[in-house]
């Protein structure tokens, strides 16, 4: 008699080893500005009300065109980002290396940057290049735009966080390049994440899985974080087939340590990242849909247990 086929977990049992779990956890995507939460991400509260999970493709649709080169979309008024309110529950980034990496990422992604000169209309730009050695970067202003001398406030989106800083300069363009303006790195930046709820990474020990069936195909994906409003999963690009933003997942079985919850999810984010041990992976962010009070209570209990376990 033919032996039964091994399940995916049995075939890839080495992925459950302590060493793999440890390194994989260290390389999980953080969904925030680079290295904002150094020393380990445990649990934090975001201050701007929105969906519990960031909507990356909405940013792209609004003009945050990733990548560099001639394929970028032209800047337009819809790319303007509002400044962070004084009363917002934001935090400061002061680490010079983290600031440089954040600026570099903005340059690589081609994110639109809104510049607010004092007493003047906002100007749209992108970061053309970053020189970490000299702690300077170069702005690429929108066609025909210029900046008046004085203080300017810069606002943009970095991952799921609003990223803001201020600089004062004469804003003198590079010779022969009227649209390219050099500037020094800011000494500090204000970061305001769009989440409004606690999010906790899943512990290295214990079962934290999401199992469901989509178009007749079974899925079993690893959870890497849990929040009162949704969950984050990860998988290989091959396993992510059909898992697109906007897709509804029905009767998902969530294993949250000792608790099991059956719920419906909506995919809100899907993006690729590279893991040191596992290679290319896909980050899948979902929010709960039509969650019953009983199921919400179970999730709240699971998050409370995870919080207590970290203390």
Question: Does residue 63 sit in the same domain as residue 31?
Answer: no
* pLDDT, tens digit, 9 for 90 and up, residues 183-223: 999 999 988 765 545 567 776 666 789 999 999 999 999 88
Which residues touch 295 (CB under 8 Å, ≥6 apart)? Answer: 261, 262, 263
Q: Is residue 49 part of a domain?
A: no
Q: Is residue 5 part of a domain?
A: no
Q: In what order do the strands lie in the sheet with 161-169?
A: 91-93, 189-193, 161-169, 150-158, 113-117, 123-131, 136-141, 180-184
Between CA 55 and CA 44 the distance in angstroms is 19
Q: Is residue 4 part of a domain?
A: no
Last residue of a domain, one of 161, 193, 225: 193
Q: Burial code of 253-289, b = ≥16 C-beta within 10 A, e = fewer?
A: ebbbbeeebebbbbbbbbbeeebeebeebbbbbbbbe
Question: Does residue 168 sit in the same domain as residue 78?
Answer: yes
* pLDDT, tens digit, 9 for 90 and up, residues 161-177: 789 999 999 999 999 99
Q: Look at residue 244 in the predicted model and tell me its pLDDT.
A: 87
Give me the residues of the chain with pLDDT under 70, please. 1-72, 87-89, 159-160, 193-199, 203-206, 309-311
Question: Does residue 30 sit in the same domain as residue 79?
Answer: no
The distance of Cα 57 from the centroid of its chain, to the nearest Å, equals: 11
Q: Look at residue 149 in the predicted model and tell me its pLDDT.
A: 94
Contact 154, 165 (CB under 8 A): yes
Q: Which domain holds residue 297?
A: 10-42+198-310
Number of independent structural domains in the chain: 2
* CATH (domain of 173): 2.30.110.10
Question: Does residue 136 sit in the same domain as residue 157?
Answer: yes
Q: Look at residue 171 in the predicted model and tell me its pLDDT.
A: 96
**Residue 103 φ then ψ, to 5°:** -65, -40
The distance of Cα 191 from the centroid of its chain, to the nearest Å, equals: 13
Question: Does residue 185 sit in the same domain as residue 217?
Answer: no
| pTM for the model | 0.46
* pLDDT, tens digit, 9 for 90 and up, residues 8-30: 555 555 555 655 555 555 555 44
Last residue of a domain, one of 168, 193, 218: 193
Last residue of a domain, one of 141, 172, 193: 193
| DSSP run (H or E) holding 293 | helix 293-310
Between CA 127 and CA 248 the distance in angstroms is 36
Q: Look at residue 67 in the predicted model and tell me its pLDDT.
A: 39
Q: Look at residue 10 in the predicted model and tell me its pLDDT.
A: 56
The closest of 308, 302, 290, 161 to 223, measured between CA atoms, is: 302
Helix or strand or coil: residue 115? strand
Q: Look at residue 99 in the predicted model and tell me its pLDDT.
A: 92
């Amino acid at each position: 008699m033919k032996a039964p086929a091994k399940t995916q977990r049995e075939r890839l049992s080495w992925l459950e080893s302590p060493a793999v779990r440890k390194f994989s956890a260290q390389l999980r995507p953080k969904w925030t500005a680079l290295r904002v939460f150094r020393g380990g991400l445990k649990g934090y509260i975001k201050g701007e009300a929105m969906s519990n999970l960031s909507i990356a493709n909405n940013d792209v649709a609004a003009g945050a065109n990733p990548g560099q080169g001639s394929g970028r979309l032209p800047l337009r008024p819809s790319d303007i980002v509002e400044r962070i309110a004084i009363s917002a529950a934001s935090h400061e980034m002061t680490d010079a290396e983290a600031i440089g990496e954040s600026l570099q990422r903005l340059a690589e992604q081609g994110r639109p940057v809104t510049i607010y000169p004092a007493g003047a209309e906002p100007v749209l730009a992108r970061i053309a290049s970053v020189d970490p050695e000299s702690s300077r970067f170069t702005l690429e202003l929108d066609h025909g735009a210029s900046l008046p001398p004085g203080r300017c406030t810069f606002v943009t989106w970095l991952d799921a966080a609003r990223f803001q800083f201020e600089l004062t300069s004469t804003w003198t363009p590079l010779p022969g390049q009227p649209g390219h303006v050099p500037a020094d790195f800011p000494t500090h930046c204000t970061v305001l994440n769009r989440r409004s709820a606690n999010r906790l990474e899943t512990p290295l020990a214990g079962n934290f899985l999401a199992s469901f069936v989509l178009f007749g195909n079974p899925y079993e994906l690893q959870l890497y974080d849990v929040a009162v409003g949704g969950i984050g999963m990860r998988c290989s690009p091959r396993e992510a087939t059909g898992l697109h933003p906007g897709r509804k997942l029905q009767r998902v079985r969530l294993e949250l340590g000792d608790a099991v919850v059956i719920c419906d999810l909506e995919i809100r984010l899907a993006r690729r990242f590279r893991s040191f041990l596992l290679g290319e992976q896909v980050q899948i962010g979902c929010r709960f849909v039509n969650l019953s009070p009983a199921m919400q209570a179970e999730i709240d209990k699971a998050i409370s247990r995870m919080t207590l376990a970290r203390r």
